[in-house]
Structure 1
Amino acid sequence: MVNPSEDARTSTKVVAITGAGTGIGAATAELLADHGHAVVLAARRAERLDEVAHRIHARGGRAVTVTADVSRYDDVVGLVDTAVGEFGRLDVLVSNAGISKIGPMADGDVRGWSAMIDVNLRGVLHGIAAAMPVFRRQGAGHFVTTLSTSGLKIVPQQGVYAATKNAVRTLLEALRQENTDGVVRTTGISPGMVATELGDSIDNDELRHEIRQNMADFGMPPEAVARAVAFAISQPADIEIGDITIRPTVQN
């Protein structure tokens, strides 16, 4: 079991972040690097990762990049292995990669549904499977996962997307209950509308325009969610921040 006093004295951590090329992932990487943490950035687009890493390095931070698709288990194992190989350990895995193929279920978008399941749900499971042995071996580790308020307030057009997020919410609670020895912590963060590129993955033209407009009108900056991640991982080892909901004050 982790000694809380020892953990509290360890102010810097090694944090791996998926979906780190843009939006919440990039903002989280930059904020945590500014706080002195070492970050391992993962996403499918290498050029976006390089841009984020360049900004971090320019400010004196520590960052390495890994091109990875979270729907592929071997890619996520590679992410974890890179963190341990570069920095000697992995303290936090932020599972942030996600896609949104929203639309009426009557459209029967089987391909879109499968893609969301692969990234939003299977990708998180891959992270748990890859990082858990490292966390148990170290005697400490923290899973931080981006969920969504779409899973808290169910609305039309977002049923399958919300289902993937609520499936992850369920597995995180089970994971928490399976690990009450103080070694592994879990945090689910449910953002409301955030101004990111998530809307770009929506195939329906009308819905994509609507989401983009909402993001422009009242979406939070990704840095707001990044601050929530920083808060969760800053707690001493005997404290677990299980759930955080963060949304614009004007969002219904």
Structure 2
Amino acid sequence: MMNLNGKVAVITGASSGIGAGIAQAFAQQHMNVVLGGRNEQRLKEVASNIQEETQVQVSTFVVDVTKNEEVNHLVEFAQKQFGKIDVLVNSAGQMLSSTVTDGDVEAWDTMLDVNVKGMLYGINAVLPKFLEQSSGHIINIASISGFEVTKQSTLYSMTKTAVHTLTQGLEKELAKTGVRATSISPGMVETSMTESTDWGGRKKLEPKDIAEAAIYALQQPAHVNVNEVTVRPV
């Protein structure tokens, strides 16, 4: 298993939910973390919780992933703070009105901008450095909705299908470079986005369950790329 001690991870969507859970789990593996998100107060709360429990270095950066320039600044900030970046976790996401028949164009635009373009901006920002150092790991948070479409999830599912396609293609583009790409597809996770959603009586996953999948992918030997992980509740 690869030792994660001292590695640096940049995590978007880190102010709550899966992103915050991943940040906390990474810190417990002695990784230094840069938390990116739009809500400065919540970012500080997550950072404070991490610092109370661990001895790692934690930095926060307010960022809107739909703006390419801001994402570039996030990555530049992390590079200046720590001198390197080893991992990017694209966790920022939006799940809004997703039926075509609703005609909610504003919601569609938001999901496309956050779930797809925001992810591309993050990848584009770190990739030159990862290729230069012949190492690095990109983790994209997808969803089982990218595999299974319901009549309420059309647009959201479309964006998560794009995440699968992006990660699979990226893995092929990055073959033999030392840079790895992983897509993690959670089932229903207990977050603010899903608190009003019924899951048929089954216990929802917790953010830490998704974090464990990310850690598993990171800990593999350098020649092993875990390209796709699906995590479902029992």
* Structure 2 counterpart of 1:139, from 98, 119, 134: 134
**Which residue of structure 1 aligns with residue 151 of structure 2?**
156
In the other structure, the counterpart of 2:109 is 114
- Report deviation, 1:217: 5.4
List per-residue Cα deviations over 1:37-81 (Å, max 9, x = no partner).
000000000000000100111122221000001101111111111
2:120 matches 1:125: yes
The match for 2:226 among 211, 229, 241 is 241
Match for 2:169: what amino acid? Answer: A
What is the aligned partner in structure 1 of residue 27 from structure 2?
Answer: 33
8 Å Cα contact 1:182-1:237 kept in structure 2: no
The code of the aligned residue for 1:41 comes to L
SS at match of 1:190: strand
Q: Does 1:185 align with 2:170?
A: no
Q: Is the CA contact (8 Å cut-off) linking 2:5 and 2:29 kept in structure 1?
A: no
CA distance in structure 1 between the aligned counterparts of 2:94 and 2:190, rounded to whole angstroms: 14
Kept in 2: contact 1:30–1:56 (CA 8 A): yes
Which deviates more from structure 2 when the two are superposed, residues 8-17 or residues 36-45? Answer: 8-17
Cα displacement (A) at 1:218: 2.3
TM-score, reference length from structure 2: 0.94
Which residue of the partner structure matches residue 231 of structure 1?
216
**Partner-residue secondary structure (3-state), 1:66:** strand
Equivalent pair of 2:88/2:137 in contact (CA under 8 Å): yes
Which one-letter code corresponds to 1:187 in the other structure?
T
Calculate the TM-score normalised by the size of structure 1: 0.88
Matched, 1:23 2:8: no
CA contact (8 A) 2:139 2:181 kept: yes
Quick one: which of 170, 173, 176 aligns to 1:175?
170
SS of match in other structure, 2:199? helix
1:86 corresponding residue in structure 2: 81
Which of the numbers 75, 88, 92 marks the counterpart of 1:97? 92
SS of aligned partner of 1:198: coil
Helix, strand or coil for the counterpart of 1:102?
coil
50, 73, 76: which one aligns with 1:56: 50
Distance, in Å, in 2 between the alignment partners of 1:146 and 1:88 is 25
How far is 1:199 from its partner?
A: 3.7
Q: What percent identity do the matched residue pairs reach?
A: 38
- Go from structure 1 to structure 2 and tell me whether the alpha carbon gap of 1:8 and 1:182 turns closer, same or farther (over 3 Å shift): farther
The answer to whether the 8 A contact 1:141-1:185 is kept is yes
Paired with 1:53 and 1:131, the residues of 2 have a C-alpha distance of 22
**Per the alignment, in what secondary structure is the counterpart of residue 93 of structure 1?**
strand
Segments of structure 1 that go 5 or more residues without pairing to the other structure are 1-6, 201-208
8 A Cα contact 1:12 1:36, kept in partner: yes
- Tell me if structure 2 keeps the 8 A contact 1:195–1:216: no
Query: Is the 8 Å Cα contact of residues 2 and 218 (structure 2) preserved in structure 1?
Result: no
Aligned partners of 1:238 and 1:30: how far apart in 2?
A: 26
Paired residue secondary structure (1:40): strand
